Amino acid sequence: MTSTEPRERDDGLRAAPVAGRARAAAHGLFAAALLTTVALDQLTKHLVRGWLAPGERWPGAESALAKVFTFTHVHNTGMAFGLGQGRSEIFAIIATVVVLGLMIYQSRLPLNAGWLRLALGLQAGGAIGNLTDRVRRGYVTDFFDFQVWPVFNIADSAIFIGVAILAWHLWRTEDDAGRSAVDAERSDVGAVRAAGAGASTGTGAGAGAGAEVGDG
């Protein structure tokens, strides 16, 4: 056994806990986004069901605010933002598959993919929040009503924000890749020009030296 082997073994033992903590932190971000979304979604839906009857809204039509925004208790048997009504069972199956897919995908991401894990956690949490409603009640409780947009809830908002973060992340990644490619191309052009300049200088110097020898 060489003298370096014990040192390498000690370095490996010290690196293992660090890697474990980094992995736990990465997966913890996904779990925190998921659990926070589900908790807020279910809490707000519980409050709305206890506060407003189905179809009821607050504030009333006499309020100036009601022309822009109200809390409206709506039963949604469709997907997010009230689309595809009457297909709750199908959407429940789709949501289950999507959540499982998101969990598997995030577990395979690099440890430094924080923004991506946050986006996936929000989407998974939103899907679970609405899935919980479909399984327990056969419909989803919606209540944010901006009058010009279908009524929605916290889960829908989390899914939307997660998709927006994901789109921004992909755009930034492609933009960085394009910028790196341009920088690499400029470096190559600069290297070619420098090589050409060096060759020209060398040729000129050689020619000048030849001329001096000839004169001598």
Q: Residues with catalytic annotation?
A: 142, 156
HEC string of the chain equals CCCHHHHHHHHHHHHHHHHHHHHHHHHHHHHHHHHHHHHHHHHHHHHHHHHCCCCCEECCCCCCHHHCCEEEEEEECCCHHHCCCCCHHHHHHHHHHHHHHHHHHHHCCCCCCHHHHHHHHHHHHHHHHHHHHHHHHCCEEEEEECCCCCCECHHHHHHHHHHHHHHHHHHHHHHHHHHHHHHHHHHHHHHHHHHHHHHHHHHHHHHHHHHHHHHC
